Chains A and B, each alone.
Chain A
């Protein structure tokens, strides 16, 4: 509702305008006025046309009446508020005058005023306390919220840790299995090579291995593929 009402008109602007009153300025202002007159007359014509158009109907009149009624109501309200403010001012002025007279009544008034001041001070103090308490409650709530957040994050971290641990375990088992498998393959290759070598040695030594049963068993053993 508040209107700033700041009409910031630098005075130098006015001085310059005063200094610049010459033929061109006057011509410019004449043009401006012509334009403004044109606009105003256009609006006036339009309004006249609208009025003649609505001549038979009563609606615009009723609307206008409603507007004026509203205006009257507003005026009444503002008048009442103003009278109330004025009465308050008058009462305070009267009280002040009375207190200055310094007789019995004024003593009573003074006491009452002092009581009022004390009571309002107490009210202010209590309000302050209440505000502080509210502030504390808000702080505590904020801390609780913070703690909750932190707790949630911690839980999340723990979950992550567990998951990672499981994963590493699983991967470790797979790795050991693979290692074992490669070692086994290697050993198999080595044994097959040794078998071949032994076979070759026996055959190369030209010993009739079929006669000796133990040698025969060995050679036949070597034939087996592991």
Chain B
């Protein structure tokens, strides 16, 4: 399966699924832990992947993915390239609010090896919000986890009256 679609499976009752795509395993795990520690009223499952496409073997076991978070590390150019390569395997309808870019390591701009303008452009081209955070600090990590949880809740359709697309438009208009 080359591309994967947002609406090819039915949602599971009162649960949401997040897919974290990024080259740094440790950061992914920390973020996932922080998200699981948050209080929430629904079931959450977090899938970690270093790149897309996902192997087609476990495809029938995988629940519907509600939100894809692409993690870009400012310190390595490889992470950006990896994300750009992975984006080709995502269906166009996913970009209607179900994708977001998470830029990590913003606290150390001295070691920055990725151009900020290219990240901006990425967000513009793919019509998706770009979040900036520093995952190695506890407080920002928790805040990011809360933010992502809220987005996930909206993207999974748990908030009546707000769809992922509306939320995306609101977020983009506020820039």
Contact = CB atoms under 8 A, between A and B. Distances in A.
Interface of A: 1-10, 13-14, 17, 28-29, 31-36, 38-40, 42-43, 67, 70-71, 74, 78
Interface stretch (B104-112, B122-130, B136-144, B153-161): B153-161
Contacts of A31: 160
Contacts of B164: 39
Interface SS of chain B: helix, strand, loop or mixed?
Answer: loop
A34 B158 CA distance: 9
A15 B93 CA distance: 35
23 contacts: A1-B54, A1-B55, A2-B49, A2-B55, A3-B47, A3-B48, A3-B55, A4-B47, A5-B58, A6-B46, A6-B47, A7-B45, A7-B47, A8-B45, A32-B158, A34-B160, A35-B161, A35-B163, A36-B157, A38-B157, A39-B164, A71-B1, A78-B56
Interface SS of chain A: helix, strand, loop or mixed?
Answer: helix
Interface string B18-60: 0000000000100010001000010111111111011111100
B43 A3 contact: no
Given A6-B47, A9-B43, A17 B157 contact: no
Interface stretch (B7-15, B69-77, B113-121): B7-15
A2 B55 CA distance: 7
Given A39-B163, A40-B7, A74-B56, A8 B46 contact: yes
Given A28-B41, A29-B14, A35 B157 contact: yes
A3 B58 contact: yes
A43 B61 CA distance: 23
Nearest to A6: B48
A47 to B, nearest CB: 9
Q: Which of A3, A13, A43, A67 counts the most chain B CB atoms within 10 A? A: A3
B88 interface: no
Interface residues of B, number: 35
A218 B129 CA distance: 106
Contacts of B55: 1-3
A188 to B, nearest CB: 66
Interface string B150-175: 00000011111101100000000000
A78 B55 CA distance: 11
Given A4-B49, A9-B43, A10-B36, 18 more contacts: A3-B47, A3-B49, A4-B47, A5-B47, A5-B58, A6-B32, A7-B46, A7-B47, A8-B45, A9-B44, A35-B157, A35-B161, A39-B164, A42-B163, A43-B7, A70-B2, A78-B56, A78-B57
Contacts of B54: 1, 3
A35 B158 contact: yes
B36 A8 contact: yes
A5 B161 CA distance: 31
B47 to A, nearest CB: 6
Given A10-B36, A67-B2, A43 B58 contact: no
B83 to A, nearest CB: 15
Contacts of B2: 67, 70-71
A2 B43 contact: no
Contacts of A40: 7
Nearest to B13: A29
B156 to A, nearest CB: 8
Q: Which of A2, A70, A71 counts the most chain B CB atoms within 10 A? A: A2
Contacts of B11: 36
Nearest to B6: A43
Nearest to B37: A10
Nearest to A14: B43
A43 B50 CA distance: 29
